[in-house]
Amino acid sequence: MAGAGSLQRSPGGSTPKTDVQLAKDAWKFADSLTEEQVSEYKEAFSLFDKDGDGQITTKELGTVMRSLGQNPSESELQDMINEVDADNNGTIDFPEFLTMMARKMKDTDSEEEIREAFKVFDRDNNGFISAAELRHVMTSIGEKLTDDEVDEMIREADQDGDGRIDYNEFVQLMMQK
């Protein structure tokens, strides 16, 4: 029988649900990667798969990701490992690794989308979203807000209390959604 972290079906077809979910995730995320990315990731993965068994240890994972231009913190690395290491054996196979890399790339895309969204709100390009700018954008997308509602939105996001939203406050607000 294949290990719990494997994406192979056992002879009886009774693959644990976590494996099925991992397989679905791997396919979903693999679709978002180019062949060139998959090839690059396979090459990096293979460099650290010392015994050729298709597994790398979680310790080596940070090194692999850094070699691919990603720079995850220790806690991010641990979170990513926990998400895909179904059998908690401390190793990651290639489909699990692909899933992680695709998720990491997706997060990078999300950061870019948030940056673009901030630019839409920050109409005068001064690095802040004022109540007037927030009201204008919300009205232009069909959200009629009272002054009190706009002020409340600003207050919720305005961590430093200066009456406007800077980029970091905007990122925090978007990440809560």
Task: Give 86-112 pLDDT, tens digit per residue.
Answer: 677 778 888 888 877 777 776 665 777
User: Where along the chain do its domains lie?
Assistant: 19-107, 122-176
Angle between helices 94-121 and 58-67 (to 10 degrees): 50
Other Cβ atoms closer than 10 A to 29 = 19
Element (H, E) at 28: helix 17-31
- Matching fold, domains 19-107 and 122-176: yes
**The CATH classification of domain 122-176, taken from the options 2.120.10.30, 2.170.190.11, 2.60.40.10, 1.10.238.10:** 1.10.238.10
Are the C-beta atoms of residues 99 and 27 closer than 8 Å to each other? no
- Residue 93's φ and ψ, nearest 5 degrees, are -90, 175
User: Residue 117 — pLDDT band, cuts 50, 70, 90?
Assistant: confident
- Rg (the chain; Cα; Å): 22
CATH code at 19-107: 1.10.238.10
pTM score, whole prediction: 0.43
Give residue 15's Cα distance to chain centre: 27
